[in-house]
Chains A and B, each alone.
Chain A
Amino acid sequence: GAVVSQHPSWVICKSGTSVKIECRSLDFQATTMFWYRQFPKQSLMLMATSNEGSKATYEQGVEKDKFLINHASLTLSTLTVTSAHPEDSSFYICSARPTGTPKATEAFFGQGTRLTVV
């Protein structure tokens, strides 16, 4: 089946630094990838839709200058949390929908990245 690899699986960083999270589709191309954030015991909240070769589309309330998304190729999207603060500590999950798939079919999810800002 389709595999989405997310790296790193966990990261601890100091407050004020930036952290980059990678999301790769290993055996398929993905024009569209999605980034979610999940706080403990809560659901996944969509942050942004990443589109290959164009700007990401951010959900309401998500700061685009803080959460930088780059989708430079059909197999890689990156999320950079800039000037991280403790309140950014969360579980970040990406998903990717294979190119050419109708909107109706499933997307495939990475294993998530647990970010802890100290």
Chain B
Amino acid sequence: SQQGEEDPQALSIQEGENATMNCSYKTSINNLQWYRQNSGRGLVHLILIRSNEREKHSGRLRVTLDTSKKSSSLLITASRAADTASYFCATVRSEASKIIFGSGTRLSIRP
């Protein structure tokens, strides 16, 4: 089963612009993670934010978490063509160790 939904399902922006993806989930969590997947490939872990954190940065990535709204956002600043990929949020529930993925956002960066 999936934990939640991401929006938009697909996003196309110009190189250099910022990309924002949102993730909503259904149950309480211990942490939320964001992954990137290039077409037909495995997953690359981007960032992890714990339930007691509200914002986290890593390079051009900025992640926010609002546990009251059960939502998170991933912002990629100054996008590059190499950022073209699918992005998934994933949650680890407080009472279990399973990593459950959201529906994903397909990001395309136009040169």
Residues on A lying within 8 angstroms of B by beta carbon are 6, 32, 34, 36, 41-46, 49, 59-60, 91, 93, 95, 97, 103-112, 114
Distance, CA A34 to CA B100, complexed state (A): 11
* 19 other A-B residue contacts (CB within 8 Å) besides A43-B101, A45-B101: A6-B42, A34-B98, A41-B106, A42-B103, A43-B102, A43-B104, A44-B43, A44-B88, A45-B2, A46-B1, A91-B40, A93-B43, A95-B99, A103-B96, A103-B97, A109-B35, A109-B44, A112-B41, A114-B40
| A6 → B minimal CB distance (Å) | 8
Q: In the complex the two chains form, is A43's CB within 8 Å of B98's CB?
A: no
Determine the chain A residues whose CB is within 8 A of the CB of B48 once the complex forms: 105-106
Q: In the complex the two chains form, is A109's CB within 8 Å of B42's CB?
A: yes
| A114 → B minimal CB distance (Å) | 7
Distance, CA A105 to CA B101, complexed state (A): 15
Q: In the complex the two chains form, is A111's CB within 8 Å of B42's CB?
A: yes
| A25 → B minimal CB distance (Å) | 14
Distance, CA A104 to CA B77, complexed state (A): 27
Determine the chain A residues whose CB is within 8 A of the CB of B102 once the complex forms: 43
